[in-house]
Amino acid sequence: MHDGTDDTRLSDAAAGGGATPSTVPPVLADLVRADERISFLYFEHCVVNQAENAIAITDDEGTIRVPVATLGVLMLGPGTTISHKAMATIGENGASVVWVGERGVRMYASGRPLTHSSRLLVRQARLVSNTRTRLAVARRMYQMRFPDEDVSSLAMQQLRGREGARVRKVYGHWSKETGVEWKRRDFDPDDYDTGSEINKALSAAHACLYGITHAVIVALGCSPGLGFVHTGHERSFVYDIADLYKAELSIPVAFRTTAAKPDDIGAATRKNMRDALYDLSIMKRMVSDITHLLMEEDGEADADESDELWLWDEKLGEVAAGTLYADAAEGDA
């Protein structure tokens, strides 16, 4: 049994061994930062139980423990059983869980944020709710993809056209580079097996990228649903951020993997994505990029990590919580 990212085959036969008693939830300050975590681990046909502040992955070959405080995303494939206590431990440690299968990724759970502050979330909601600031953030996203061009005056329709041409060029480049035939992106999310090998690899690679992006967004306390380029979906912001890295990450991984002609295109793609994610330090970059995109408007580099709770006031902005305001209210009356 190895780390589960490529060819781990775990069996339902290993259902033995109960979970250990619950432990005291970890203090938020003791948790590993999102940008310092392992990107993802994948397991299938296994039993997942709690083991103190870790989880135990069991099959007929034995049991391994995973310290979830250092994990970004746990991807669970077909034939997986997980206990309630294990899910509680994962959530308390700020990791995310994605159930995956032959028909792609479904996001069924996510961990708690790795910050008590709602500052980034409030900033995200404010920026996306105003046409001017939303367009400014969208332009910054496109500028990250077109570093040699000035997109500061382009409308969204123009930006979409530039991006479409860029993606078509990226596909063409990697098709020529690897010798993998490319026609167009064509897949049926309800029937994975009908797709070509390259389309299967792209789906698997993008699925890994989406899961990790979702985990980072949740860890930072942002909303996955408040997108700037994408809209109307519960994961709009996930797609916004993931699109920043596809050209250098998931697309080349998919073409290179397909060119190698593996027996299991999905497993091979996950393994190669794991290696590429590590080489590019992608989680560290995501944390920096998301913070930059949301905080640049006011020239601030970092989000506030303070553990403070306030009460909102329409005139004063914020007033102290945990204070009895009865006397003030009676005086006003």
CATH label of the domain that carries residue 47? 3.100.10.20
Q: How high is the pLDDT of residue 318?
A: 75
8 A C-beta contact, residue 78 and residue 103 = no
Query: Could you read off the pLDDT of 147-168 as tens digits, one per residue?
Result: 888 888 899 999 999 999 999 9
Q: How high is the pLDDT of residue 29?
A: 57
| Residues 9, 272, 55: CA angle, nearest 5 degrees | 45
8 A C-beta contact, residue 88 and residue 22 = yes
Q: Using 50, 70 and 90 to split pLDDT, how confident is the model at 170?
A: very high
Final residue before a domain boundary, out of 76, 109, 142: 109
Question: Does 2 belong to an annotated binding site?
Answer: no
Q: Using 50, 70 and 90 to split pLDDT, how confident is the model at 111?
A: confident
Measured in residues, the chain has a length of: 333
Note whether residue 22 is domain-resident. no
Q: Both 46 and 147 in a single domain?
A: no
Share of the chain above pLDDT 90, in %: 44
Domain total of the chain? 2
pLDDT over 60 at 220, yes or no: yes
Q: How high is the pLDDT of residue 83?
A: 94
pLDDT over 70 at 300, yes or no: no
Rounded Cα distance between 217 and 73, Å, is 12
- Beta-strand pair 38-43/310-313: unpaired
Share of the chain above pLDDT 70, in %: 79
Q: Both 84 and 132 in a single domain?
A: no
Q: Both 58 and 182 in a single domain?
A: no
User: At a CB cut-off of 8 Å and minimum separation 6, what does 301 contact?
Assistant: 291, 292, 295
Long-range contacts of 305-310 (CB under 8 A, 24+ apart): 305/115, 305/116, 305/117, 306/116, 306/117, 307/28, 307/116, 307/117, 308/116, 308/117
Q: How high is the pLDDT of residue 138?
A: 94
Q: Using 50, 70 and 90 to split pLDDT, how confident is the model at 18?
A: very low
* Burial readout 163-183 (b: 16 or more C-beta within 10 A, e: otherwise): beeebeebbeebbeebebebe
Q: Using 50, 70 and 90 to split pLDDT, how confident is the model at 56?
A: very high
Q: Which domain holds residue 100?
A: 28-109
Question: Does 314 belong to an annotated binding site?
Answer: no
Nearest to 41 by CA among 74, 81, 80: 74
Q: Both 136 and 263 in a single domain?
A: yes
Q: Both 163 and 242 in a single domain?
A: yes
Q: Both 100 and 130 in a single domain?
A: no
pTM for this one? 0.74
Q: How high is the pLDDT of residue 102?
A: 60
pLDDT over 50 at 106, yes or no: yes
Query: Which residue is associated with the tokens 């009908």?
Result: 194
Q: What is the CATH number of the domain that holds 253?
A: 1.20.120.920
pLDDT over 50 at 276, yes or no: yes
Question: Does 243 belong to an annotated binding site?
Answer: yes
Rounded Cα distance between 272 and 207, Å, is 13
Rounded Cα distance between 172 and 46, Å, is 40
- Beta-strand pair 310-313/317-320: antiparallel
Q: Both 96 and 211 in a single domain?
A: no
Q: Both 271 and 211 in a single domain?
A: yes
* Burial readout 245-264 (b: 16 or more C-beta within 10 A, e: otherwise): bbbebbbbbbbbbbbeebee
Note whether residue 331 is domain-resident. no
- Tell me how far CA of residue 67 lies from CA of 31, 38, 71, 95, 212, in angstroms: 11, 10, 7, 10, 17
Query: Which residue is associated with the tokens 């049994």?
Result: 1
Q: How high is the pLDDT of residue 10?
A: 34
77: helix, strand or coil: coil
Ramachandran bin of 261, using left for φ above 0, alpha for ψ from -120 to 50, beta for the remaining angles? left
Query: Region 63-84: what's the mean pLDDT?
Result: 89
